[in-house]
A and B are shown apart, each in its own frame.
Chain A
Amino acid sequence: METRYFGASVKRNEDQRLLTGQALFIDDIELPGMLHAAVLRSAVAHGRIVTVDVSAALKREGVVAAYTAQDLGDFWQPGPLLVPPPPIEGSVFNLRTHACLAKDKVRYAGEPLAIVIAADRYIAEDALADIVVDIEILPALVDLEAALAKGAALVHEDLGSNIAAHIHQGKGDYARAASRADHIIKRRFLYEHGISSPIETRGIVVQWDARGGQLTMWDTTQAPVFVRNGLAAVFGLSERQVRVIAPFVGGGFGPKIMMFYPEELLLPWAAMQLNRPIKWIEDRLEHFVATTHERGQVHDSKIALTKDGKILGVKDVFLHDSGAYDPYGLTVPINSQCTLLGPYVIPDYDSTFTCVFTNLPIVTPYRGAGRQHGVFVIERLLDIAAHELGIDPAEIRRRNLIPPDAFPYDNEIIYQDFAPLSYDSGDYEPVLDKALSAIGYAGFKDEQAAARAKGKHLGIAVAAYVEGTGIGPYEGARVQVQANGRVSVATGIGTQGQGHYTVFAQIVADQVGCDVRDVDVVTGDTDRFHWGAGTFASRGAVVAGNAVNEASKVVRQKILTLAAEHFECAEGDLELGQGQVSIVGVRGQAIRLSELAQKANPMRGAVKPGAEPGLESTQYFGPPSGATASGVHAMIVEVDPETFTLAIRKYVIVHDCGTVINPLILAGQIIGGAAQGIGNAFYEKLMYDDAGQLLNASLADYLLPTSLDVPRFVLDHTVTPSPLNPLGIKGAGEAGAIPAGPLFAQAIEDALGFKAKGIELLEIPLSPARLWELTQQAG
């Protein structure tokens, strides 16, 4: 096989449509007779519902229907558990899922109370104001520790506490580490992650064909097959009666995978009642409260070290904010727990976490998915250790890196995919070296002093991380050479801009020897491919990519077999390329793939027994466990010591995500992730008051970074292929977003000489206002 495309910066197949305004996004769907929905959401974070009265709304001209929980009858059910908790001994997990409309109680501001269906969205919104709501207000639980205090109000009364889960994992014996240690550091860390805030919000269009018994739902989901299966189960339909299509989706980053969002059930249910197509497009205000968040954790952490900075052990106890319900299981806190270990040898690890129900929106993974929290803890502990032990911050990291001969490296705990947390491959020191050299680490002290002489305050930082990617269970793909010579590929994952249309095409084009532009990739339509899990955990390229590769290999073999028959020659004499098969060294002896595809589906003549028609194959791929990517980020900032505003002067990213399919697309993923990391570290904060009200629910107040807040990144990479899949690839979707938190903390401390002033940055997000407050507290 020639690898013309694999590894090359092939331009994207999907761009033409997107650049000309022709790509179909959810709100572009117009169906005859379509109605529009709006959802009434609780203004109160915690309270007992006395009345939700829609009678006035129903009288408004243009309103077709309005439903409350009462109207749903037997359809009213708490939703399913999406991701069960991993089998960790002694774990406590209290499952409480939401229903699509709140019935007796509301548990967060934004929880749906009623849905209005009207002739257009304007009228539907008018009607929301007609609905009379009476809620008896209960104390809102916003703070994690307060929620666990004796006598606290209860989010779910029947539970008797606000504990959603309690998990302990560890290896070795931290007490042993502590007893041997020269130095122990103990700190409390606060890390909050925000909302993914894609520029396209969520949306659903649904059509029920009563005569055909066919339900079609267009949905901005990242996991169409799961949604399809779930809908079939809920409505008692066969899976063939339900079609879920994820059209072009304007960014996801995790939260577009939660299942089920209330609207994903309410819309099809209402469409069946009314026998009319219905559209619901979440508006930006709703997005802040109706789409899942990631939010915060509080860590009490200890690290035990030798005096030369070798880590002996880490003990970490943390609280995790689950929000009002926990349908997504433990993915986020388990990621925090596992990723804290980083690229380091940590012989003794003792980690316990408690998930807490609060009166805030549901927490599910958002790009990084809890990994940031863990990375912040270990990276900050190492910074503090470096300072207290008088070791350079880069050097203390180097001393603790897992050596290259230690892979696969078993961490002896269980990861989110239920498999033991084992790093498949890696070589960390070259990554660190490249980053240090690119940022100019060696010469920075002089640069800093020179800048300081001119009144400028520069600071440097370096932070490392690993990322478990590409987890199972599996994905599948069908590859088919069409009679017109084009090759079609179908997979079950959804795509939200990651370039799947192109990277999958690259894999196929190399195998079957066609032009990459002649490959049509379909993702996210359950009628085109029935099986799959979805796009999450940096797994699309790894898992689906390998399935595409396997299917392409079979198709390639079919092509060779058929062509060998055609030419009456040995397969070994054949060559695939330029959309045709030719005999090596014989000019003019070639047959087009289109012709072969026609031959593979003959109208007449004898076909050998057992032969399958067509140049087609469907294959599945499931890795035994996740592949571990790694990286180091380094940054130089300039901070105004009076206003505490900050400018990034240089940002270097060196990463290793195994074999690279398309460097340009990969760079886009890494840079995009890093920009979100910057947002998380210094701009984006969900601000809640004590009553559980979000105070900054607009894009004017929730600060997504702009082109002026994000610098030009310097990128480099190393390649340690993953042994867990034939292509050797590791996921890259989340990597860029992970280490910005510790990077900002370290760089700002350095720029402003905080260490000398006794100021430590132990929280994320930071902001100029917060930095000022911390300096005030320090006096």
Chain B
Amino acid sequence: MKPASFKYILARTLDDALAAKTEHGDEARFLAGGQSLVPTMNFRLAQPAILIDINPIAALSGVRDGASIRIGALTRYRMLEADPLIAARQPILREALPHIAHPQIRNRGTLGGNLAHADPASEMPAIMLALGARMRLQSAANDRWVDANDFFVSAMETALRPDEMLTEIDIPDSPPGTGTCFMEVARRQGDFAQAGVAAIVTLGADGKCGGVRLAFCGVAERPFHADAAAQSLIGGDGSDDSFRQAAELAMAALNPPGSTHASAGYQRHLAGVLARRALTTAHARATTEVRRDH
């Protein structure tokens, strides 16, 4: 299991990296944490002719505060786990991170690499979808922002063009009175999820559900947002029944692919169970938030 030959380009600046990518297009791949790319190369499932190593580009790394949170694409999971801003403002991210692999892998893997890889079983894309994050895609000639919903196209397929790099992720703050919850079922700690769900519930001033987001990983070709299920809860008071019904709606909307370890039927079933549980927890957390605010 040794990788095929490739040409190695060390990019010290963003401009260098983008120039190289413009020159080589699909022939070249960025090397970020390498935690998805290198295993696929070792299996020779991927044989890129050129790797552009972006690890030295310090500007691509870090969490920046503002009206929203901005995360550099090269920010490693480890840094996100330890970041106080993330813990305070996006606890769902903090809650999901330990589900990704193991510390040794989180010490290398990057948020940008994860999202660009677009594994439908991965936690982060579903969370970005739930949070309504935006991706900054830059090329030597262009600089654009794309919504998470448009970024994830299909399994391992994104809106990235051959000359573009994902450089930054922008996560809007949730309104006050929001509770979140991430849950998944994996065969072992650190395995990709058989089904996972990110639930976000925002309570209005009247205590009723004002906004609900419900995104799944592992159960579709791309991260999946259950629109009808989320919609069904709006204006409701978050009863067990309403969550049960929302879970049913989500299940009805899903058509999971099945995997070696989980039949499609089991995945759909899991998605329903997890949706109900995560919504319940997110709602309870939102309620606590509201109480704390008063």
Direct contact of A and B (CB under 8 A): yes
Evaluate whether A769 and B266 lie within 8 angstroms (CB atoms) in the complex, with A121-B2, A126-B4, A642-B273 already known. Answer: yes
Query: A709 within 8 Å of B by Cβ?
Result: yes
Nearest CB of chain A from residue B44's CB, rounded to whole Å: 7
Query: B239 within 8 Å of A by Cβ?
Result: no
Task: Report which of B43, B191, B265 forms a contact with A773, defined as CB distance below 8 A.
Answer: B265
Q: Per-position contact with A for B1-15: 1 when CB-CB < 8 Å, else 0? A: 111110000000000
A776 to B44, CA, bound (A): 40
Query: B64 within 8 Å of A by Cβ?
Result: no
Q: Per-position contact with B for A688-708: 1 when CB-CB < 8 Å, else 0? A: 000000011010110101101
Interface positions of B from 247 to 275, Cβ below 8 Å from A: 260-263, 265-266, 269-270, 273-274
Evaluate whether A768 and B260 lie within 8 angstroms (CB atoms) in the complex, with A125-B2, A706-B189 already known. Answer: no
Taking a contact as CB atoms under 8 Å apart, the answer to whether A695 and B187 are in contact is no
Task: Report which of A129, A642, A701, A708 forms a contact with B189, defined as CB distance below 8 A.
Answer: A708
A687 to B189, CA, bound (A): 21
Taking a contact as CB atoms under 8 Å apart, the answer to whether B266 and A703 are in contact is no
Query: B185 within 8 Å of A by Cβ?
Result: yes
Interface positions of A from 737 to 779, Cβ below 8 Å from B: 767-769, 772-773, 776
Taking a contact as CB atoms under 8 Å apart, the answer to whether A125 and B44 are in contact is yes
A126 to B6, CA, bound (A): 12
A703 to B194, CA, bound (A): 14
Closest to A284 in B: B1
Interface positions of A from 681 to 732, Cβ below 8 Å from B: 683, 687, 695-696, 698, 700-701, 703, 705-706, 708-709
Query: B188 within 8 Å of A by Cβ?
Result: yes
Taking a contact as CB atoms under 8 Å apart, the answer to whether B5 and A126 are in contact is yes
Taking a contact as CB atoms under 8 Å apart, the answer to whether B262 and A769 are in contact is yes
Residues of A close to B4: CB separation below 8 A = 126
A283 to B44, CA, bound (A): 13
Evaluate whether A283 and B5 lie within 8 angstroms (CB atoms) in the complex, with A706-B189, A767-B261, A768-B266 already known. Answer: no
Taking a contact as CB atoms under 8 Å apart, the answer to whether A122 and B266 are in contact is no
Q: Per-position contact with A for B173-194: 1 when CB-CB < 8 Å, else 0? A: 0000000000001011111101
Query: A285 within 8 Å of B by Cβ?
Result: yes
Closest to B43 in A: A285
Query: A643 within 8 Å of B by Cβ?
Result: yes
Taking a contact as CB atoms under 8 Å apart, the answer to whether B273 and A772 are in contact is no
Task: Report which of A125, A701, A709, A776 forms a contact with B260, defined as CB distance below 8 A.
Answer: A701
Taking a contact as CB atoms under 8 Å apart, the answer to whether A708 and B188 are in contact is yes
Taking a contact as CB atoms under 8 Å apart, the answer to whether B2 and A696 are in contact is no
Taking a contact as CB atoms under 8 Å apart, the answer to whether B44 and A769 are in contact is no
Closest to A128 in B: B44
- Binding site secondary structure of chain B: loop
Nearest CB of chain B from residue A734's CB, rounded to whole Å: 24
A556 to B61, CA, bound (A): 69
A700 to B43, CA, bound (A): 13
Closest to B192 in A: A700
Taking a contact as CB atoms under 8 Å apart, the answer to whether B260 and A122 are in contact is no
Query: A589 within 8 Å of B by Cβ?
Result: no
Residues of B close to A51: CB separation below 8 A = none
Interface residue tally on A, bucketed by range = 20 to 34
Closest to B101 in A: A700
Task: Report which of B3, B185, B187 forms a contact with A683, defined as CB distance below 8 A.
Answer: B187
Interface residue tally on B, bucketed by range = 20 to 34
Query: A645 within 8 Å of B by Cβ?
Result: yes
A768 to B193, CA, bound (A): 13
A140 to B185, CA, bound (A): 34
A700 to B1, CA, bound (A): 15
Taking a contact as CB atoms under 8 Å apart, the answer to whether B1 and A701 are in contact is no
Residues of B close to A283: CB separation below 8 A = 1
Taking a contact as CB atoms under 8 Å apart, the answer to whether A643 and B2 are in contact is no
Among A122, A687, A772, max chain B CB count under 10 A is at A772
Closest to A704 in B: B188
Residues of A close to B1: CB separation below 8 A = 125, 283-285
Q: Per-position contact with B for A282-314: 1 when CB-CB < 8 Å, else 0? A: 011100000000000000000000000000000
Residues of B close to A696: CB separation below 8 A = 260-261
Residues of A close to B185: CB separation below 8 A = 643, 645, 768
Taking a contact as CB atoms under 8 Å apart, the answer to whether A122 and B2 are in contact is yes
Nearest CB of chain B from residue A573's CB, rounded to whole Å: 62
A703 to B191, CA, bound (A): 9
Residues of B close to A687: CB separation below 8 A = 260
Nearest CB of chain A from residue B4's CB, rounded to whole Å: 7
Nearest CB of chain A from residue B171's CB, rounded to whole Å: 29
Taking a contact as CB atoms under 8 Å apart, the answer to whether B2 and A773 are in contact is no
Residues of B close to A643: CB separation below 8 A = 185, 270, 273-274
Residues of A close to B189: CB separation below 8 A = 706, 708
Taking a contact as CB atoms under 8 Å apart, the answer to whether B261 and A695 are in contact is no
Closest to B4 in A: A126
Nearest CB of chain A from residue B46's CB, rounded to whole Å: 14
Residues of B close to A698: CB separation below 8 A = 43
A703 to B259, CA, bound (A): 14
Residues of B close to A705: CB separation below 8 A = 188
Interface positions of B from 114 to 155, Cβ below 8 Å from A: none
A683 to B191, CA, bound (A): 13
Task: Report which of B3, B190, B261 forms a contact with A769, defined as CB distance below 8 A.
Answer: B261
A776 to B187, CA, bound (A): 20
Residues of A close to B270: CB separation below 8 A = 643
Taking a contact as CB atoms under 8 Å apart, the answer to whether A695 and B260 are in contact is yes
A645 to B185, CA, bound (A): 8
Taking a contact as CB atoms under 8 Å apart, the answer to whether A769 and B273 are in contact is no
A283 to B2, CA, bound (A): 9
Interface positions of A from 112 to 146, Cβ below 8 Å from B: 121-122, 125-126, 129
Closest to B258 in A: A769
The residues of A with any CB-CB pair to B shorter than 8 Å are 121-122, 125-126, 129, 283-285, 642-643, 645, 683, 687, 695-696, 698, 700-701, 703, 705-706, 708-709, 767-769, 772-773, 776
Given contacts A643-B270, A705-B188, 19 further A-B contacts (CB under 8 A): A122-B2, A122-B3, A125-B1, A126-B4, A285-B1, A643-B273, A683-B188, A696-B261, A700-B191, A703-B188, A708-B188, A708-B189, A767-B187, A767-B261, A768-B266, A769-B194, A769-B261, A769-B262, A772-B265
Contact sample, A vs B, 8 pairs, CB 8 Å cutoff: A122-B3, A645-B185, A683-B188, A706-B189, A767-B187, A769-B261, A769-B262, A773-B266
List of 7 A-B pairs having minimum Cβ-Cβ separation, nearest first: A283-B1, A769-B266, A122-B2, A642-B273, A769-B262, A772-B266, A708-B189
